[in-house]
Amino acid sequence: MAFTLNPIRFGTDGWRGVIAADFTMERLVQVAPIAATVLAANYGHVEQNRLIIVGYDRRFMAETFAQAAAEAVQAIGFDVLLAESYAPTPAFSWAAKAQGALGALVLTASHNPASYLGLKVKGWFGGSVTAEITEQIEARLGEALPQDVTPGTLNRFDPWESYCGALRQKVDVGRIREAIASGSLQVYADVMHGAAATGLERLLGIAIHELHSDRDPLFGGGAPEPLPKYLTEIMATIRAAATNQEPGIRVGLVFDGDCDRIAAIDGQGEFRSSQVLIPILIEHLSTHKGFTGEIVKTVSGSDLIPKLAQRLNIPLFETPIGYKYIGDRMLQTDVLIGGEESGGIGYGTHIPERDALLSALYLLEALVESGQDIGDRHRQLQASVGFTSTYDRIDLPLATMAVRNALVERLQAAVPETVAGKAVTDCLSIDGYKLRLADGSWLLIRFSGTEPVLRLYCEAATMETVQEILHWAKDWANSTAV
C-alpha cells in the first residue's frame, strides 16, 4: 500500500501534521529557512536586522524539532534566539516584538491530539502573520536554499522573564496575591500537560492548585483542548470544595496546549466558556480599569457582547470566525478586547495575539474587584442589559465531502424559512450561515474547508431550546442524501 504525504499547507494559524508522517524533520528544515526568508523579505524594512526567535511547547520532541529549525535558519545567515525551555506561544510572539526581531517560529500543534506537531509563524509586531505571508512560504517551498552563506549566530534565551514582566505590569498582582494568601480567593488551574505549566505561579509569586503540571506528550489520552469532556478532574475538585463549603471565591482556569486559549470553571464546578468570560472582561477593563477602544467579536460570539457594548457605549466590530481576523483588526485600530468563542482572547494593552495567561490575570483581578464568583458575575451582567441566554455548539461528522458539498449548495440556493418551528428573520453569511430566529435565538451553520464536518453553534434563552435547535440542525443535515 503506497503512502502519500499531505502537502505542506498553512491553515488559520500554522502548518500542522502527524509526527513522522506529515510533520518530519526533513520537511521542517525545508520550511523553517524559507519562512525566515519570507519574514525578512516582508519585514526587513521595519526591523533592520536578521533576527529570528525560535520557541516550542511541551509536545513530543518539540525541543528537538526546534533545535533543528534554529540550526537550519542560522545556516542561511540569520541570527537566532532559541528558547532554553518551553513557554506559551504568546511568550514567543511577545519576544519577537520585545527583541525587535523579524518574527518568531514556534513549534506547537496547539490543542490538536498528541500525534500532531506544527509550526506557527509570527511577525515582528507580536502576532500571527497574514495569509499572504503564509502563501508566499508555500509558494517558495520548492526553491533551493542559498549555499556558501556565512552562518548567523545562535544563542539561547529565557522566554519567560520578559514576558512575565510585561504581564505583571498590566494587573494588580499584589492584590490578587493577597486574596489568595488570605483564603478569600482559591485558584485552580488545569494546564493540561501543556505550556501554561508553572505560568500562574511565576506571575503571581504564590502557590496555586495546579493540575496536570507534568509533561505528558500523550495528554492523558485526550487532547489539550479546554472542553468539558477533558476537564472532569478539575470540575470534580472544585465541586468537592463547594460541597465542603470551603471559604472564599473558587475559580478554575483552563489552558490549551500552547496557552493561547482559555476557559474557566466557576465556584460550583460548572464549565464557563469565553462566551461568559469575554463579557466579564469587557466590563472589568472598561469600567474598573478605564481602558478604551473597540470590542471585536466573531459571528459566533454571544449576543450579550453587543448588548453590553451598547450599554457601555463602546464601539463593536464583528468578524468571521478565526483569531486572524481579530488580530488583523487590532493592527488597524485601537481595540479594547477581541475574542472568539473557542477561547482565544487578546487585548489592545498587549500585542495582537490571543494570550490565555493575560486573560487569566485580568479575570482574577475582576473577581477580586467584584468579590463575586464567575457565575454570579455573569448573571449580574445579563440582568444589567435585560438579556439571559445559554449557548452550546457541536461538530457533526458527515459521511463524505460530497454530502458536505450538497449541504453547501442547498444553503446557497435557499436558507430555511423556519428552524425548529421558529421563523427565520435574518441571515448573515460573512462566515457560514447565521440564522436569526423570531424568538431572539440564533443558529450558525459552518462547514470545515478540509474535512466532512458541519459545525453548529446556537444561543437561546434556555438550554432546552438550544438543544432543540441543534437537534433540528442535525436532522436537517442528515436529511440530505447523496
DSSP string, 159-186: TTHHHHHHHHTTS-HHHHHHHHHHTSEE
Q: What is the CATH number of the domain that holds 121?
A: 3.40.120.10
What three-state secondary structure class fits 198?
A: coil
> Do the domain assignments include residue 443?
yes
Q: Are residues 22 and 82 in the same domain?
A: yes
Q: What is the CATH number of the domain that holds 448?
A: 3.30.310.50
Q: Are residues 377 and 402 in the same domain?
A: no
Q: Are residues 92 and 155 in the same domain?
A: yes
> Do the domain assignments include residue 63?
yes
Q: Are residues 351 and 320 in the same domain?
A: yes
> Do the domain assignments include residue 10?
no
CB 85 within 8 A of CB 158: yes
> Do the domain assignments include residue 252?
yes
Q: CA-to-CA distance for 468 and 477, rounded, in angstroms?
A: 14
Q: Are residues 35 and 66 in the same domain?
A: yes
Q: Are residues 204 and 344 in the same domain?
A: yes
Q: Are residues 309 and 367 in the same domain?
A: yes
Domain count, the chain: 3
> Do the domain assignments include residue 171?
no
Q: What's the one-letter identity of residue 168?
A: R
Spell out where 385-467 has E strands.
390-397, 418-419, 422-428, 433-437, 442-447, 453-460
The residue among 338, 357, 385 that closes a domain is: 385
> Do the domain assignments include residue 305?
yes
Q: Are residues 284 and 211 in the same domain?
A: yes
Q: Are residues 352 and 228 in the same domain?
A: yes
Per-residue pLDDT tens, the chain, 482 aa: give them.
456 788 898 887 899 999 999 999 999 999 999 999 999 999 988 767 899 999 999 999 999 999 999 999 999 999 999 999 999 999 999 999 999 999 999 999 999 999 999 999 999 999 999 989 999 999 999 888 888 899 999 999 999 999 999 999 999 999 999 999 999 999 999 999 999 999 999 999 999 999 999 999 999 999 999 999 999 999 999 999 999 888 899 999 999 999 999 999 999 999 999 999 999 999 999 999 999 999 999 999 999 999 999 999 999 999 998 898 999 999 999 999 999 998 999 999 999 999 999 999 999 999 999 999 999 999 999 999 999 999 999 999 988 888 888 899 999 999 999 999 999 999 999 999 999 999 999 999 998 766 788 999 999 999 999 999 999 999 999 886 54
CB 291 within 8 A of CB 409: no
Q: CA-to-CA distance for 10 and 54, rounded, in angstroms?
A: 18
Q: Are residues 222 and 287 in the same domain?
A: yes
Q: Are residues 420 and 437 in the same domain?
A: yes
Query: Which residues constitute the domain of residue 424?
Result: 390-478
What three-state secondary structure class fits 328?
A: helix
Contacts of 44 (CB under 8 A, 6+ apart): 102
- pTM for the model stands at 0.94
> Do the domain assignments include residue 216?
yes
